[in-house]
């Protein structure tokens, strides 16, 4: 009986750890969203303290910490209004997404469009097609 309990706990442990990472990243994302809309310094400081607490628990440099950082990065991109990439789009559709990004974002969010352009370029394996995409998508930066 004791052996069965230990085995089931070991099988359940990875799920608990990931759920912990997911919970912490959602908590941090909610804090960042509040801080983005708030002018209060205490809210922003609270997010910094929460991040420090999470990093201690998740052990900086661990796989859990890396997963946490990826999830937080996605949250920050969402807050900044950077659309997520869809690798299943055609090259022409990807170019249109980039051009739309440059047309609709202000000067301060142009870096998000450049990142989106880079991310889409990474999804194209054919070198000639990638070259064409880069040339076409760069022409709409102006």
How many CB atoms lie under 10 A from the CB of residue 59?
10
Helices 127-138 & 110-122, crossing angle to 10 degrees? 160
Q: Please report whether residue 21 resides in a domain.
A: yes
**Residues 83/90/134/132 CA torsion (nearest 10 deg):** -170
Both tokens of 75, joined, read 């949250």
Q: Please report whether residue 86 resides in a domain.
A: no
104 and 37, same structural domain?
A: no
Tens digit of pLDDT for each residue in 68-125? 999 998 888 888 777 778 888 999 999 999 898 888 876 767 887 888 899 899 999 9
**In the prediction, which pLDDT does 1 show?**
52
Domain that holds residue 23: 2-80
How many CB atoms lie under 10 A from the CB of residue 39?
7
Task: Report the distance separating Cα 65 and Cα 80, nearest Å.
Answer: 22
More confident residue, 142 or 42: 42
95 and 57, same structural domain?
A: no
73 and 11, same structural domain?
A: yes
Instruction: Count how many domains the chain has.
Output: 2
């Amino acid at each position: 009986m004791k052996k069965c309990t230990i085995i089931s706990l070991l099988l359940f442990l990875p799920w608990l750890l990931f759920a912990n990472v997911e919970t912490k990243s959602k908590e941090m994302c909610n804090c960042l969203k509040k801080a983005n809309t708030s002018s209060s310094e205490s809210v922003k400081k609270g997010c910094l303290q929460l991040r420090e607490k999470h990093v201690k628990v998740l052990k900086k440099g661990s796989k859990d910490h890396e997963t946490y950082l990826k999830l937080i990065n996605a949250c920050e991109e969402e807050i900044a209004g950077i659309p997520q990439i869809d690798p299943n789009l055609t090259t022409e559709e990807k170019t249109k997404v980039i051009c739309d990004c440059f047309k609709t974002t202000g000067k301060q969010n142009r870096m998000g469009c450049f990142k989106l352009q880079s991310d889409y370029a990474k999804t194209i394996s054919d070198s000639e097609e990638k070259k064409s995409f880069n040339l076409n998508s760069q022409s709409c930066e102006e």
